[in-house]
């Protein structure tokens, strides 16, 4: 009896101390260790809401630490992370060897076949083979392509109609209509370049008008030569646009995708050369009044401009090799990447921005007519990869972007531009 009472006493004593100390510490002790996965992405606006919902769904076994960034700021942050040995577990990054090469050289990211082998939901056969090419280096895929993009030249029909102007078919046409548009406080083509955007992509489109322009670019990777007839013609074409004031005076200020679409949506510009990742930004009424036309011919010797456009794979999903090899994280990484490659995410990204899925899947109906217009357009053209994909290094590409800033702003002459880009390639080649 006495023994029972003593046991009871100690039990109650223990209970009392537990009561006095509160239950939180006990809860903390019994709390299961949940792995934290850092995920950095450049889809700051729109995607974050979806990610929050997913985080909530998996919060019992994965803690996702998200790092949203906007556009090129994401690229800079990731490069800082690499330099400081603080690479996120999963991150989006620009595709092709130009962008992924350094990660591969330094063994930062995994051969994505390892992920395909481990995943029970996703297989490489789910993707377009052409998309997978964008992340292939020496026959190995180092990232999972996530978004296809295409460039298109679009005009505001209403503006042209109101001013009784024809849609330009040649550079000469642009030179003719530009003064009229400017007189009406309308910028002919809202094109700028800050940190290369969107100028360098338009430059590629202009380069490929030359009969051998695309082949020369493909050759650039091996020849390390930038200066070809195609690039020379494209440079000249840019300088012609500046000369006839077809583009804004301050191309640095105008150098962003949002600025470009904003000008177009507000009828302050008649034409833009833009990309599918901006589709969602078109106002529906403006989209209805828009027409995709071939990029005007820069000279009479160009190839058929109705038969091609530029495009490729924008962002891909990369998996940090160090994190992948951490047995405490691998399952969670697979689970998150599975989700990033789910139709839910692809459809959201398509609707929220306009990037087309790399996954073979049914595309839902669009609310914005611009989607249909682009979808129809790309069925009729061949897609050529932009210069970005074929530089021998990220530094050379960055120098190409810097050169575009100076070219489009009117600072560089043809000679300056071509030599500046070539120097970038040469430095890396040395």
Partner 1 sequence: MNKSGHKGRTIRKDLVGLLLLATILPSILITTLFAGNVKKIIDTDVRAYQEVIIDQTRNSLENIFTSVNIIHRSVIGKIVPNYLPLEFEERLKKEEVIALKDLLSFLHTIAQAYTYINGIYLIYDSDYIISSRLSIRTNVLLDKSWVIISRASDGEEYIIGPHFAEYNVGLPQEEYDTVISSIQKFYMPGNSNNEILIQVDINLSVFQDFIESMDYNEQIPMYIYNSRMESSLLKNDIFNSMNEKQITASEQIKREIKPDHLYLHALPRKDHILEKFRSAILGMILIISIISFFIFLTALLLSRRITSPLHDLYTYMKQVGQGDFSPIYPRTNYLELGYLIERFRKMVSDIDNLIETVVSKEKETTEARLQALQAKINPHFLYNTLDVIRSIALEHDNMDINEMTLSLSRLFRYNVGNLEDTTTLKNEIEYIYDYLKIQNYRFGDRITVKFSIEEEANKVQITRFVLQPIIENSFKHGLELRGKGGLLKISAGIVEDTLEIRIFDNGPGIKPQKLLRIQDSLIIDAQKNKVKNTHGLNNVNLRLKLLYGNEYGIYLTSEYLKWTEVRVTIPFNPELQNV
Site residues (vs partner 1, CB under 8 A): 2, 5-6, 8-9, 12-13, 16-17, 19-20, 45-46, 48-49, 70-73, 76-77, 80, 194-195, 197, 242, 249-250, 252-253, 256-259, 261-262, 265, 281, 405-406, 409-411
Pick 241 or 340: Cβ nearer partner 1: 241
| Beta carbon of residue 168, minimum distance to partner 1 (angstroms, whole number) | 22
| Beta carbon of residue 35, minimum distance to partner 1 (angstroms, whole number) | 24
Q: End-to-end CA distance of the chain, in Å?
A: 91
| Beta carbon of residue 129, minimum distance to partner 1 (angstroms, whole number) | 33
| Beta carbon of residue 125, minimum distance to partner 1 (angstroms, whole number) | 34
Place of tokens 């690479």: 87
| Beta carbon of residue 236, minimum distance to partner 1 (angstroms, whole number) | 18
Residue 124 CB coordination number (10 Å): 14
| Beta carbon of residue 77, minimum distance to partner 1 (angstroms, whole number) | 8
| Beta carbon of residue 414, minimum distance to partner 1 (angstroms, whole number) | 15
| Beta carbon of residue 139, minimum distance to partner 1 (angstroms, whole number) | 36
Write out the H or E segment, with its range, that includes residue 63: strand 63-68
Strand 197-198 and strand 193-194: the pairing is antiparallel
Residue 18 CB coordination number (10 Å): 12
Question: How far are the Cα atoms of 157, 167, 181, 182, 407 from residue 164, in angstroms, in the given order?
Answer: 10, 10, 11, 14, 32
| Beta carbon of residue 399, minimum distance to partner 1 (angstroms, whole number) | 14
Pick 46 or 307: Cβ nearer partner 1: 46
CA 417, 419, 420, 422: dihedral to nearest 10 degrees? 120
d(CA 350, CA 359): 12
SS3 state of residue 254: coil
How many degrees, rounded to 5, is the angle at CA 187 between CA 184 and CA 287? Answer: 100
d(CA 339, CA 63): 15
Pick 82 or 218: Cβ nearer partner 1: 82
Find out whether 379 and 209 touch, Cβ atoms under 8 Å.
Answer: no
Pick 135 or 251: Cβ nearer partner 1: 251
Pick 77 or 428: Cβ nearer partner 1: 77
Pick 48 or 325: Cβ nearer partner 1: 48
Contacts of 19 (CB under 8 A, 6+ apart): none
Pick 143 or 287: Cβ nearer partner 1: 287
Buried/exposed code over 181-203 (b: 16+ C-beta within 10 A; e: otherwise):
beeeebbbbbbbbbbbbbbbbbb
Nearest to 324 by CA among 314, 337, 343, 311: 337
> Rounded to the nearest 10 degrees, what angle do helices 96-105 and 394-408 cross at?
140
Pick 281 or 298: Cβ nearer partner 1: 281
Find out whether 182 and 245 touch, Cβ atoms under 8 Å.
Answer: yes
Pick 212 or 289: Cβ nearer partner 1: 289
């Amino acid at each position: 009896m006495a023994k029972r009472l003593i046991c009871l006493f100690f039990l109650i004593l223990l209970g009392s101390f537990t009561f006095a100390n509160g239950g939180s510490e006990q809860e903390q002790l019994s709390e299961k260790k949940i792995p934290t996965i850092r995920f950095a992405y450049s889809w700051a606006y729109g995607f974050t809401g979806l990610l929050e919902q997913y985080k909530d769904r998996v919060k019992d076994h994965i803690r996702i630490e998200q790092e949203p960034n906007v556009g090129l700021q994401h690229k800079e942050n990731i490069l800082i992370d690499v330099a400081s040995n603080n690479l996120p577990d999963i991150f989006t990054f620009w595709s092709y060897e130009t962008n992924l090469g350094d990660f591969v050289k330094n063994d930062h990211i995994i051969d994505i076949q390892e992920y395909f082998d481990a995943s029970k939901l996703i297989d490489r056969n789910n993707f377009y083979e052409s998309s997978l090419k964008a992340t292939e280096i020496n026959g190995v895929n180092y990232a999972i392509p996530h978004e296809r993009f295409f460039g298109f030249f679009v005009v505001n029909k209403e503006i042209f109609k109101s001013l009784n102007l024809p849609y330009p078919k040649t550079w000469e046409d642009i030179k003719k209509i530009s003064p009229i548009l400017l007189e009406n406080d309308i910028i002919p083509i809202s094109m700028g370049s800050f940190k290369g955007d969107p100028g360098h992509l338009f430059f590629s489109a202009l380069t490929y008008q030359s009969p051998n322009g695309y082949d020369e670019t493909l050759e650039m990777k091996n020849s390390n030569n930038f200066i070809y007839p195609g690039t020379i013609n494209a440079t000249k074409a840019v300088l012609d646009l500046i000369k006839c004031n077809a583009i804004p005076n301050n191309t640095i200020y105008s150098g962003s995708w949002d600025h470009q679409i904003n000008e177009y949506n507000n009828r302050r510009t008649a034409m833009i050369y833009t990309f599918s990742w901006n589709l969602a930004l078109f106002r529906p009424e403006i989209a209805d009044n828009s027409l995709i036309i071939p990029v005007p011919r820069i000279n009479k010797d160009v190839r058929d401009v109705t038969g091609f456009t530029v495009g490729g794979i924008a962002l891909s999903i990369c998996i940090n090799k160090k994190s992948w090899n951490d047995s405490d994280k691998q399952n969670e990484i697979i689970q998150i990447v599975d989700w990033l490659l789910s139709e839910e995410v692809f459809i959201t990204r398509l609707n929220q921005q306009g990037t087309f899925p790399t996954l073979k899947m049914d595309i839902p109906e669009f609310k914005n007519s611009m989607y249909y217009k682009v979808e129809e357009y790309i069925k009729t053209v061949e897609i050529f990869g932009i210069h970005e994909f074929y530089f021998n290094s990220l530094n050379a590409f960055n120098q190409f972007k810097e050169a575009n800033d100076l070219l489009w702003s009117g600072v560089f002459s043809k000679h300056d531009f071509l030599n500046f880009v070539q120097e970038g390639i040469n430095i890396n080649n040395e």
